[in-house]
Amino acid sequence: MKHNLPPLESLKVFESAARHLSFSLAANELCISKGAVSYQIRKLEQGIDCALFKRSVRQVYLTDAGQKLLQTTRRLFDELGQTFEQLAPKSGDHDVYIGATTYVAMRWLSPRVGKFSEQNPDVSIVLQHSVNSEDFKLQDVDIAIRWCACHGTKDRSRLMEMPMSLYPVCSPKLLERLNIEHGENLLDRELLAMPPFDSIPLLCEDRPFDLWQEWYGKQSRPLSNPRRTIADSNVRTQAAIDGQGWTMADALMRSELESGSLVAPFGHRLEGYGYALVTAPGRYINKKVGDLTGWLMNQRDY
């Protein structure tokens, strides 16, 4: 029998957005862009010729039809999850696949996985480093650690958050070359937009929003510093050490600060971002994955 149903991907996006009443939170949970959430919702509404959300400037609300569809999708997703759990092998006989960038793997994940493996030699762990690639699919790994906005939320797919302050760092040699003195007193962030700071390139990732401007916080005065995009966090860190510009640091860059290869002369910190331990919505978590996940959640210090 042929079923005239909308795509499952659209229903997944709808369920997340309806549960959170937020397209942004749904995007964070599903590790997609806010635009992709809007597209899937719009496609679903067009397919059924019915509005599911009432949209305002800062909030979305469910229509009566949206409320009804949410009840149905949540019930069906729960039943599907229970069925897959019953069908999945209980022995946990496959490897544990973790998605993480090389930056996170080297600085946080690898030492913890090493300790876990010492106590659990029967668990085979495979790291996949393409977590920021356009081809990466969360469904291809058991768990992943991704940089994202942190809201203090936790559910079945966002297992843990590790919020970290963000702040600019650079090589002390770069400051010396520009005759900028850096002592114990932290500098005001407004100096980044003034000579000679404004000539120093800002090293950044290819993101749809300007993290540097968000840190600076002066929307009426855009930062004029030249930008240089470097996708790999480790390469970006090394570029800063080599004196190529400022990079945004977090707590995982502590060793470079302690060694003095990088300095953090500004006092202002940007909050609201960090890393999250996530899994695909509805994914079956076997015993080995559950054991490793529980271990990591108890080793969140950094």
Chain segment 266-290, per-residue pLDDT in tens: 999 999 999 999 998 878 788 889 8
Answer whether residue 241 shows pLDDT above 60.
yes
pLDDT for 3 equals 60
Answer whether residue 260 shows pLDDT above 90.
yes
Q: Is pTM beyond 0.75 here?
A: no
What CATH number has the domain spanning 8-87? 1.10.10.10
The beta strands (E) that lie in the chain are given as 53-55, 60-62, 96-99, 125-128, 143-149, 158-163, 167-169, 202-204, 227-229, 247-249, 273-278
User: pLDDT-based confidence at 92, cuts 50/70/90?
Assistant: very low
Using CA atoms, how far residue 98 sits from 47, 48, 138, 194, in Å, is 36, 37, 10, 43
Q: What percent of the chain has pLDDT over 70?
A: 91
More confident residue, 178 or 68: 68
What CATH number has the domain spanning 167-270? 3.40.190.10
User: pLDDT-based confidence at 87, cuts 50/70/90?
Assistant: low
More confident residue, 206 or 84: 206
More confident residue, 279 or 1: 279
Does this chain's domain 96-165+274-297 share its CATH topology with 167-270? yes
Chain segment 145-176, per-residue pLDDT in tens: 999 999 887 777 888 999 999 999 999 999 88
User: pLDDT-based confidence at 130, cuts 50/70/90?
Assistant: confident
The domain locations on the chain are 8-87, 96-165+274-297, 167-270
Residue listed under structure tokens 């079945």? 156
pLDDT for 202 equals 97
User: pLDDT-based confidence at 1, cuts 50/70/90?
Assistant: very low
d(CA 108, CA 112): 7
Tell me which CATH homologous superfamily contains domain 96-165+274-297.
Periplasmic binding protein-like II (3.40.190.10)
pLDDT for 29 equals 80
The DSSP H or E segment spanning 88 is none
How are the residues of the chain apportioned to helix, strand and coil, as percentages rounded to the nearest 5?
45, 15, 40
pLDDT for 89 equals 52
Q: What is the mean pLDDT of the chain?
A: 87
Which of 39-53, 82-96, 110-124, 235-249 shows the lowest mean pLDDT across its residues?
82-96
